[in-house]
Structure 1
C-alpha cells in the first residue's frame, strides 16, 4: 500500500468528526455579539503590554498560513471563519489574518506559518448576567482537542478528494498555478499530514479533554519523542506516541514567575528568568515548534540543536517579561466586608499552611520567590504516570549534557530526552562555541565565564543543574501537586489540577458530595465562585470519577481541607477568597 493510501484510509471517520464539530458552535459563539465586555482590573502595567502578549511569537510553527486559509469545514465554510470562536478562542481585532488571541504568523525557512502563543491557553473570558469579563493570564475556556482534530480532518479530506484538493490548491497557490507547483504542494501537504495525523490518531483517540483542559505533558513528550527524533524525511517514531489521557486545567499565569516550583507536579525549579527559559522552551516544543536535532560530531555536545529549530528565544524572553506584569484579577462585584474579615481568620487557620505567602528558595540572581508547597492531597494521580513514561531517543541516542544528563539510552525517561533537547538548544543558541568538540564539562564552564558579553550566563549553568531533578527519583516520588498562593483563585475554575471540581463551594464539600458531572463553559456563578450550572449551547460536559479510581485522569477525589467547616464558616471563607 502506498504512503498516501496508508494515511488516508481512516479519513471517512475523520470527516464524520469534522461534520459533528462543524454543527456544534462553541459556547462563546452562542453569545450575543453586542454583549458589553469588561476588562478586569489587573494593574496599569499590564494594560501597556496586553496587545503584545496576545500575539508575541515564541517559535510555534503549526501549519502554513496559506494552507489553513484555504481549508474548509465539513459544511463548506472557511476553516478560519469566526476567528475559531467555535472552539472558545477570543477575537483579536489587531490580527490582520483574522486569527484569534494567542495565534500569530511568522516565517521559517521562507514559509509563513500560523503558530500559537502563551495567550491561546492563558486568556479567559467569563460571563455574568448580561456582561462578559476578560481575565488575562487566566485558564482559557477553549476546546483545544477539537481544534486539533478538526485541522486533521480538514487536511485529510483535502488529500482524499481530487476536486477538493484542486480547490485547495487554487486557494493556497492562487489561480492558474502550474502543474509542477500543484504536485509539489500535494507532496508537501502529504508529508505534513503523515506526521500530524499519526500524532492525532494515537494521542487523541478515545480521550476527552473538553473545554478548559489539555494533557500538556503528554503532548510535549509525544511531539518531541514521536515526531522530531526519527529518521528523515518524516522523523516519526510511532511507538513513542502515547494516549494523552491525563488532562489538567490550564494554570493561571499571574504570580507564576514568583513561584519557586512550577508545573502541576512541581518538578521544575522556578523563580528567575534563567529558570523560566527551559520551562518555556519545553512548552514551545509542545505547541508545534519545528525541531529536528541531528548528530554533528564537530559541534559542542556533538549534536546540532539549532540549525532546524524554530524557537524564538527573544520572543520567549519577551513573554516571560510580559507575564511578570500580569496582576491577579480583582473581584469586580460587591463583597460583604464582615464576612471577609471572618473568612480571613478561617483562611489562616485552614488554608494558609499550604496556600499562604511564604519566602521560597533564593534563586539566581537572588530574586525573591514564594514557597510552593508540594503535597499529595489524595487527588488524581494520572499525570504522575505520564511523567514516568519512557521513550526511544531516536537520533539522540547517546546524546548527553556533560555533568547534567547522562547519555540517553533506549527506554529511558522521556523527560530526560526533553532535558537534553532543551539544554542543548539553549547552550548552542546563547554560546557560540568553537567548531571543534568541547567534551569536558569543565571546559564548558570556562567558556561561559570567558564571555562577559553574556551577563548572567554563569547563572544559566546553575539553573540548568536543576534539570537533573526532572527524572531524579521519579520511580519513587510521591504523586503530589503544587499548592499555589491563591491570589485571583476566584477566576480559575474549575478546580484541582485536573479541573474536576466546578466551584470553590463544591471544593469545600467531601468528594462524594461534589458534582459527578458538570458543564464547562464561560458562564460564572459568583455565589458558588466557579462555573455556573447552566452554560451556553456547545459547552462540554465533564464526567468525573470518584475515589475508587485515582488513576482515571478525571477523579474529583482529594483535597478534603475545609470540608468540616459549618455552612456559615464556608460562606465566610468563600467571601474572603473572592478578595485575594
Structure 2
C-alpha cells in the first residue's frame, strides 16, 4: 500500500482518503483531514429525532413476493449498505430507544451521501446528494403494511413475528392491532395524498411540500388521529438533494433562499423543519392561552447539534482522478470572467456574506432568477388550516395564525415555537413549561406585539429570519385572502423580494460530485449545462455510473429503468423543466473544455 501511495505521489495524482480503498469496498474520496472514519460513522447513524416506524414492525413486514422488507437492506431504493456488515439498516437509518421498543428513524446521511461508479470502482462522497428513490420507499412501506393488515390471517402472521411467538396471546394481538391501525391511518394519509404520479425519481424529492404536509396535516388536528387530511397536498415540485459541505457557511439556504443561515440557531431551525419532514413526532397542545410545542415532540436537539457540527467538518470532495493542470489554469481565467462573458465567479465565487450571532462570518448566497423551473414557488403558496395553532404567535417573532393561513407561516410558528420553548426552558429563571407568556393565543389579553426580533433574547434574535416568505410565491387569491402586505411575514424591508423562480447560487466547491444539475436535477452533467436549453437532453438515464469527461451522470447506466423526463422552456412550471441558466452556453468549445477541467479542481 505504501508503495502505491508513493507511486501516485510521484505521478502527481490525487490519493483517495480511505481505509477501504480496495476492491472489497468503496473508495472514500478525500474530504479533508477533519473528516475521518469516526466522524463518518457518527454521521451515518446519529439520532436526530425522526420516528418513522417501530423496529419490530419493520422487521416483520414483507415485500410483495413474500421476501422480508429488509431483505436487501433497502439497497433496491439506492440506499447504501452500512459500514457494519451485520447491520440490517442502511446508511442514514437508525433504530433508537430501549430494547423491545426501538423505533426506526432517518438521519441526514440517508439523503446526503453520494456513491458513484467509474470503471467498476465505487467512490463514496459524504454530504453529497444521494441517488435514492425516497418516494418508492415510502410507497412500498405503505403497501407492505396494507398487506399485513389486509385480513386476520395476514395480521396474525405479522403479529407472530412482532411478538416473537408462533401463537401470541389474543389480547396482545388486539393491542398490537390497535397500535398498528393508529399508526397506519396517519402514515397512509400522507403517502396517499402527497405522492405524485409520475414520481420524483432517483435523487429528488419535494422536501418543502412534504414538510408542509407533515406539520399541517398530521400534527394539528383533533384527537385521536390529529389529522387534518385536507391540509395534505400533492407534493409535485421535486428538487435535487443539495450537497452539505460548506452549507453551514451560507448566509441563505433552501433552494428559493427563503431561510437566513450561518449561525447555530439558524442551523437548528433548518434542521428542526427537516426532522419534522422525515416523520418526527409533533403534536402541540393548547392549555388555555398557551401553546406547548414540545408536547410529544421528538426533535433530538443534542443530536441535531452534533449533526450540524459534523456537517461543518465535511470538506468539499477532491477530484480523485487526474487533471490537466495547464488546461485547468486556462479554465480558471474563463471562470473569473464577468457573467455576461460566460464566467461563473460573479454568482458562484466565495464572497463575504451577512454576519450572524455571535460574530459568525458567512458566505454570500445570491438569490436570483436565471430562467429555471418555477414549480417550487407554487408549493410555497399553499394554504392550510392552522388547527390547534389557530391564533398562536411568538411575540416579537411571528404574527398570530389565522384559521386558514399559509402553510409557510404555520411551519415558521411551529419551528420557532419548538426551538424557543426548548432554549428558554433551559434559561436561568425560565419556566420549563413552554415559553411561559411568550407563546400565546390571539385570544390572550392585549393586542399581539409587532414582529421585532430585537426584543427577543440575543440567542434567538436571528430566528425570525429563518422563514422569510418570498412574496412572489403568493397568488392574487392568497394575497387577497390573507391580507398580505409589507411585513406580513418575516420579510427584510431592506432586501427586495426575489421574483418567482429565483433560487440560490452556491459556491461551487465540489460541484463535480453533485450531478444532476439545476435545482430540480433536470440536466445530467456540467457539459450539458453549458449547452443552450434547446439543445439539452429531453430525457436521460439516471444512476450511479459517472462520466469523468462530461462531469456528471453517464449516458449509459448499469442499472436500467431509471429515466429522467424533462420539459423545455414552453413548460417552465412543470417541476421538470431543463430551461434556464444559459451562462457560458455561447463560449467556444475550447473555453468550455477548459472551464470543465477547472471545475474538477474546486
For 2:251 and 2:95, locate their aligned partners in 1 and report how far apart those are by CA, in whole Å: 33
Residue 102 in structure 1 maps to residue 92 in structure 2: yes
Look up the match of 1:258. 249
- Residues 44 and 440 (structure 1 numbering): CA distance in 2 closer, same or farther, change over 3 Å? closer
Look up the match of 1:450. none
Look up the match of 2:233. 242
| 1:83 counterpart SS class | coil
Native 8 Å contact 2:148 2:155 kept in 1 = yes
Native 8 Å contact 1:258 1:368 kept in 2 = yes
| 2:102 counterpart SS class | strand
| 1:217 counterpart SS class | helix
Native 8 Å contact 1:501 1:514 kept in 2 = yes
Aligned length: 531
Aligned counterpart for 1:505 among listed residues 507, 527, 550? 527
Aligned counterpart for 2:270 among listed residues 279, 289, 295? 279
Aligned counterpart for 1:44 among listed residues 33, 39, 54? 33
Alignment of 1:292-311 (within 5 A): 292-297=283-288, 302-311=290-299
| 2:146 counterpart SS class | helix
Native 8 Å contact 1:211 1:539 kept in 2 = no
Residue 313 in structure 1 maps to residue 311 in structure 2: no
Residue 439 in structure 1 maps to residue 451 in structure 2: no
Look up the match of 1:145. 135
- Residues 503 and 230 (structure 1 numbering): CA distance in 2 closer, same or farther, change over 3 Å? same
Alignment of 1:323-334 (within 5 A): 323-334=311-322
Q: Deviations over 1:28-75 (max 9, x none)?
A: xxxxx9665211000121114110000000000000000000000011
Native 8 Å contact 2:292 2:434 kept in 1 = no
Native 8 Å contact 2:142 2:191 kept in 1 = yes
For 1:201 and 1:461, locate their aligned partners in 2 and report how far apart those are by CA, in whole Å: 37
Residue 111 in structure 1 maps to residue 101 in structure 2: yes
- Unaligned 5+ segments in structure 2 are 1-21, 338-342, 441-455, 475-496
For 2:177 and 2:304, locate their aligned partners in 1 and report how far apart those are by CA, in whole Å: 33
Q: Deviations over 1:395-438 (max 9, x none)?
A: 11111111211111133111110111111111211222336984
Residue 132 in structure 1 maps to residue 132 in structure 2: no
Aligned counterpart for 2:379 among listed residues 357, 375, 386? 386
- What TM-score results when the alignment is normalised by the length of structure 1? 0.89
Alignment of 1:160-171 (within 5 A): 160-171=150-161
| 1:44 counterpart SS class | coil
Q: Mean alpha-carbon deviation: is it higher for 104-113 or for 254-263? A: 104-113
Q: Deviations over 1:344-380 (max 9, x none)?
A: 0000001100000100011111111110011100000
| 1:111 counterpart SS class | coil
For 2:386 and 2:99, locate their aligned partners in 1 and report how far apart those are by CA, in whole Å: 26
- What TM-score results when the alignment is normalised by the length of structure 2? 0.85
Native 8 Å contact 1:415 1:471 kept in 2 = no
For 1:538 and 1:65, locate their aligned partners in 2 and report how far apart those are by CA, in whole Å: 32
Residue 340 in structure 1 maps to residue 328 in structure 2: yes
Q: Mean alpha-carbon deviation: is it higher for 495-504 or for 334-343? A: 334-343
| 1:285 counterpart SS class | helix
Look up the match of 1:21. none
Look up the match of 1:65. 55
The alignment yields a C-alpha RMSD, in angstroms, of: 1.9
For 1:207 and 1:60, locate their aligned partners in 2 and report how far apart those are by CA, in whole Å: 27
CA drift of 1:459 comes to 3.5
Aligned counterpart for 1:536 among listed residues 538, 541, 558? 558
Aligned counterpart for 1:186 among listed residues 177, 181, 186? 177
Q: Deviations over 1:328-352 (max 9, x none)?
A: 0000111111110110000000110
Look up the match of 1:211. 202
Residue 563 in structure 1 maps to residue 563 in structure 2: no
CA drift of 1:177 comes to 1.9
For 1:308 and 1:154, locate their aligned partners in 2 and report how far apart those are by CA, in whole Å: 26
- Residues 179 and 389 (structure 1 numbering): CA distance in 2 closer, same or farther, change over 3 Å? same
- Residues 140 and 436 (structure 1 numbering): CA distance in 2 closer, same or farther, change over 3 Å? closer
Alignment of 1:360-439 (within 5 A): 360-432=353-425, 433-434=430-431, 438-439=436-437
Look up the match of 1:91. 81
| 1:192 counterpart SS class | helix
Native 8 Å contact 1:340 1:576 kept in 2 = yes
Native 8 Å contact 2:217 2:229 kept in 1 = yes
Residue 322 in structure 1 maps to residue 315 in structure 2: no
Look up the match of 1:469. 468
Q: Deviations over 1:164-215 (max 9, x none)?
A: 2111100001113210010111111111111111111111142311100000
Look up the match of 1:9. none
CA drift of 1:465 comes to 2.7
Q: Mean alpha-carbon deviation: is it higher for 284-293 or for 189-198? A: 189-198
For 2:347 and 2:498, locate their aligned partners in 1 and report how far apart those are by CA, in whole Å: 19
Native 8 Å contact 2:96 2:103 kept in 1 = yes
Native 8 Å contact 1:404 1:467 kept in 2 = no
Residue 351 in structure 1 maps to residue 344 in structure 2: yes
For 2:596 and 2:61, locate their aligned partners in 1 and report how far apart those are by CA, in whole Å: 47
Look up the match of 2:490. none
Native 8 Å contact 1:170 1:177 kept in 2 = yes
More helix by percentage: 1
| 1:50 counterpart SS class | helix
